[in-house]
């Protein structure tokens, strides 16, 4: 078996396995649309290698068959670009991609019949593939978008594939109608050494990408309260530890508040748990709207919420909490004759605080004072000098 046939067989088997793996990933790892598109990408590569083998061994030199093979070869980059743009949340531009495919086909026809040039005709496919890969991969790098888990290896691999295709296209174009042994050797080195490794890498990193998505969804689920969608106690403790470390390192204040819905048990008993759930969801929406960060609040348990005010002293935080308390009083739960109120306890991080529980303990004590004083009020813990 020659080296060319061996590498060809490796590419065929690898792409077939990757197509199967992507189909399985669509059922188990989520992101089904992206997984199915990537499965179609590798599956079309399999079709390409089969068609290419038929062309080489049965129809070599047949221009119509070569055109069909070229049209198949230009499809996988379109599918890959579609998957990346879908992942990036950008328009897919399927019409424009189809038009580009048709234009590239016309160029192949031109160099097949109007101005025959074997080199130029053969160069169209790899140059087109490189262009479309760059177009699709760049979507993941758009300004303002952070790369997610598993995306950087895909970006690097896609750009490397585009570079291989580009170099191969340039060498083919340089051959024109009179290929030299040097150019043919260069093409074999570029394509047959670069493509197998990068194809394997693209498949592995695509699976890693989808597995990373599953891991991220599991992390979010573990950190999210299922009823309200707010960060849960686990997330609160993680964020609190981070904010305390940042406050200690920067010498900036950190204030937290505990919010407790007044008479929440009576709301559940008198009006039903569905209305109690509605109260908690309303408060979550209010905190999400009014606080500075999506992780600066969370449901601590029951009807209690923890609020974080990084870089804010206790007095400023108290004013902001009072604004929240007044907003809560204006909330209406359906048509119920219900005046919703909440009590707050506020405490700042002190020099002797080492864990979040130290601050929460004092904020909880302040909350208890608010309850004892008649509810629907805010109390600030004054027993510890906060960091300022």
Asked whether this chain's domains 3-222 and 233-380 adopt the same fold, the reply is no
For 32-88, the pLDDT digits (tens) are: 899 999 999 999 999 998 998 898 888 988 999 999 999 999 999 999 999 999 999
pLDDT above 90: residue 192: no
Would you say residue 364 has pLDDT above 60?
Answer: yes
Which of the residues 151, 165, 237, 303 is marked catalytic? 303
Rounded Cα–Cα distance for residues 133 and 65 (Å): 25
Confidence of residue 154 (pLDDT cuts 50, 70, 90): very high
In the predicted model, is pLDDT for residue 337 greater than 80? no
pTM over 0.85: no
Q: What is the mean pLDDT of the chain?
A: 90
Assess whether pLDDT exceeds 80 at residue 135. yes
Over residues 218-236, the pLDDT tens digits come to: 888 889 999 999 999 999 9
Question: Is the per-residue pLDDT at 91 higher than 70?
Answer: yes
Residue 387 in this model has a pLDDT that exceeds 80: no
- 180 φ, ψ to 5°? -105, 160
Q: Domain 3-222: which topology?
A: Rhopdopsin 7-helix transmembrane proteins (1.20.1070)
The pLDDT of residue 322 is above 90 = yes
- Only one residue has tokens 């007095």, namely 315
DSSP 139: G
**pLDDT surpassing 70 at residue 2:** no
Mean pLDDT is lowest, of 91-100, 181-190, 295-304, for 181-190
DSSP conformation letters of 208-268? HHHHHHHHHHHHHHHTB-TTT-SB-HHHHHHHHHHHHHHHHHHT--EEEEEEEETTHHHHH
CB of 106 closer than 8 Å to CB of 139 = no
Stated as kind and residue range, the H or E segment containing 321 is: helix 314-329
Q: What is residue 181's predicted lDDT score, i.e. its pLDDT?
A: 83
Q: What is the mean pLDDT of residues 10-21?
A: 88
Among 96, 211, 212, 88, which residue's Cα sits nearest to residue 141?
88
Predicted local distance difference test score (pLDDT) of residue 127: 95
Q: What is the pLDDT of residue 4?
A: 66
pLDDT of residue 96: 95
Verify whether residue 216 is a known catalytic residue: no
Distance of CA 160 to the CA centre of its chain: 22
Q: Which CATH superfamily is domain 233-380 in?
A: Reverse transcriptase/Diguanylate cyclase domain (3.30.70.270)
Model pLDDT for residues 253-296, shown as the tens digit of each residue: 999 999 999 999 988 888 888 889 999 999 999 999 999 888 89
**How is the chain split into domains, by residue range?**
3-222, 233-380
Mean of pLDDT values over 158-187: 87
């Amino acid at each position: 078996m020659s080296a060319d046939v061996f590498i060809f067989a490796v590419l065929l088997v690898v792409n077939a396995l990757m197509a199967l793996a992507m189909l399985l990933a669509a059922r188990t790892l989520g992101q089904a649309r992206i997984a199915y598109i990537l499965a179609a990408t590798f599956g079309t590569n399999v079709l390409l290698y089969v068609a290419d083998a038929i062309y080489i061994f049965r129809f070599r030199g047949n221009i119509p068959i070569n055109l069909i093979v070229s049209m198949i070869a230009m499809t996988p980059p379109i599918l890959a670009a579609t998957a990346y743009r879908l992942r990036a949340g950008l328009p897919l531009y399927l019409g424009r991609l189809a038009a580009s495919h048709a234009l590239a086909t016309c160029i192949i026809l031109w160099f097949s019949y109007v101005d025959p040039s074997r080199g130029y005709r053969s160069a169209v496919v790899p140059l087109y593939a490189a262009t479309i890969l760059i177009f699709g991969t760049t979507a993941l790098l758009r300004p303002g978008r952070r790369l997610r888990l598993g995306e950087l290896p895909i970006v690097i691999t896609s750009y490397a594939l585009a570079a291989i295709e580009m170099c191969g296209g340039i060498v083919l174009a340089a051959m024109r109608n009179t290929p030299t042994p040097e150019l043919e050797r260069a093409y074999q080195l570029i394509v047959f050494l670069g493509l197998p490794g990068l194809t394997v890498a693209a498949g592995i990193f695509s699976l890693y990408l989808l597995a990373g998505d599953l891991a991220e969804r599991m992390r979010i689920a573990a950190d999210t309260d299922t009823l309200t969608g707010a960060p849960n106690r686990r997330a609160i403790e993680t964020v609190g530890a981070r904010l305390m470390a940042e406050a200690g390192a920067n010498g900036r204040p950190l204030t937290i508040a505990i919010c407790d819905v007044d008479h929440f048990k009576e709301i559940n008993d008198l009006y039903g748990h569905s209305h109690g759930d509605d109260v908690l969801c309303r408060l979550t929406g209010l905190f999400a709207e009014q606080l500075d960060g999506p992780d600066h609040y969370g449901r601590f348990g029951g009807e209690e919420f923890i609020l974080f005010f990084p870089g804010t002293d206790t007095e400023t935080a108290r004013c902001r909490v009072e604004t929240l308390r007044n907003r809560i009083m204006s909330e209406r739960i359906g048509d119920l004759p219900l005046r919703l109120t909440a009590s707050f306890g506020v405490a700042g991080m002190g020099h002797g605080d080492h864990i979040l529980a130290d601050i929460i303990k004092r904020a909880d004590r302040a909350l208890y004072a608010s309850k004892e004083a008649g509810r629907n009020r805010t109390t600030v813990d004054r027993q510890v000098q906060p960091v300022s």
